Amino acid sequence: MAQVTLSRITKRYPGSETAAVDDVSLTIPKGSFTTLLGPSGCGKSSTLRIVAGLSRPDYGVLQMDGRDITHLSAARRNIGMVFQSLALFPHMTVAENVAFGLEMRGIGRSERETKVARALDIVELGHLAARHPHQLSGGQQQRVALARALVVEPSILILDEPFSALDRKLRETMQIELYRITRDLGITAMFVTHDQEEALTLSDSIVVMNQGRIEQQGTPREIYGAPRTRFTAEFMGLSNFLPARCNNRALSFEGLTTEMPAAFEAEGNCTVALRPEGLSLSSTRPEGAALKGHLAEAIYQGASTSYTLDLPSGRRITARTTDCGLLPGQEAWIAWTPEALHAFAA
């Protein structure tokens, strides 16, 4: 296992105005599971390919345990990579697929067989060693790809949206499996996804990327609980953005003044966001800070009901809460839990 450091990595593709990766500096500590999260085209996959050695940066330095590997061939970086398409060798059996990396390292047959058997045990596929990839289910193919990457005892495990082709249920199973395996083996991992739930489930550290740059980096709790920019907030499922002013930690919006939440920093013009799941509605004025609105729409969704409210300013707010019995056309008071209120500059 190794620590990987990116310093000022920049990559521009020919014919493109903007850089795919723009001055990215980042450390992936030994044994940590770090996820690059962002929409398609944000530079997360380009960054990952640079770390893997499949693409060369135009500028910047890549280090592994302090050693400069910027120009080292991918074949010599000792990485294990799981591809989006899985890239299992179709003409080889499961065991041959897993053994490939060991063979390339010149490891003898008997040691190879022991290691392959152990790797297949870890992913619980020992009984399918003689099959070919096309004879396996999607989830089983996934595990073979993981075993093939793990068997070489890589310095870093790199995963490029490996679960994007799986259905929701299987994806969740594989996420839990990957979490268990990486934590059991203490693996340094770099994971790329556009799915925020997946990132929150798996990661020790999340790096949110936007237009080739790092938007925010932190633990899942920090990223979800205290997004620092509107982009991160939107990407983490926040909505209900309202213009606000902050003056010495007094936060004013929609004619209301309340205290700035401790996790946030802003001064002057800023934006407030109210997490729809943290709102509650009532027909009478609750204690503490609350906004009054006109209930425009109520959509029953089973576990929760989605309410749309018009504020006196004309702005709309969505609240997702348990059914409160209010009907469209009625006036409602909107209150929130302390964690539901977010604020960030501009």
Partner 1 sequence: MSTYFSLFRRTGTAALFVFLLAPLVAVIIVSVNAGATPKFPPEGFSLRWYGAALANPAFTGSALTSLVLAAVATALGTPLGVAAAFGIARGKLPSSLRGLLEAIFLSPLIVPGIVIGVALLVTLSTAGLRDAWLRLTLGHVLLVMPYVIRTSLAALQSFDPSLEEAAHTLGASRRQILTRVTLPVLRPAIFAGAAFGFIISFDDAAVSIFLIDSSTSTLPLAIMSYMQYNFDPSIAAVSSMLIAITLAGALVIERVFGLKKFLGN
Residues forming contacts to partner 1 in the complex (CB under 8 A) are 52-54, 73-77, 79-81, 83-85, 87, 89-91, 100-101, 104-105, 148, 152, 158
Separation of alpha carbons 10 and 7, rounded Å? 9
Shortest spacing between CB 69 and partner 1, in angstroms: 13
Q: From the CB of 61, what's the least distance to partner 1, in Å?
A: 20
Minimum distance of partner 1 from residue 189's CB (angstroms): 14
Q: Which C-beta is closer to partner 1: that of 62 or that of 340? A: 62
Minimum separation from the CB atom of position 263 to partner 1 (A): 40
Rounded Cα gap, residues 28 and 158, in angstroms:
12
In 3D space, the residue among 33, 72, 35, 53 whose CA is nearest the CA of residue 160 turns out to be 35
Q: Which residue has the tokens 């259905």?
A: 167
Structure tokens at 8: 């000022």
Nearer to partner 1, 77 or 115 (CB): 77
Nearer to partner 1, 74 or 263 (CB): 74
Q: What's the distance, CA 203 to chain centroid? A: 7
Nearer to partner 1, 182 or 240 (CB): 182
Our CB check for partner 1 shows the closer of 74 and 166 to be: 74
CB-based contact 342:273 (threshold 8 Å): yes
Distance, C-alpha 262 to centroid of its chain? 25
**Taking the complex as a whole, how short is the minimal distance between the CB of residue 169 and partner 1, in angstroms?**
25
Query: What's the N-to-C CA distance of the chain in angstroms?
Result: 41
CB of 122 to partner 1, least distance (A): 17
Rg (CA), the chain: 24
Residue with tokens 């006109």, as numbered in its chain: 294
Amino acid at 319: A
Q: Which is nearer to partner 1, 163 or 224 (CB)?
A: 163
Question: Shortest gap between Cβ of 290 and partner 1 (angstroms)?
Answer: 53
Q: Identify which of residues 84 and 164 has a Cβ nearer to partner 1 in the complex.
A: 84
Q: How far apart are CA 170 and CA 155, in angstroms?
A: 28
Residues 6+ apart with CB under 8 A from 169: none
Q: Which two three-digit tokens encode residue 180?
A: 């268990």
Helix (H) or strand (E) holding 169: helix 168-185
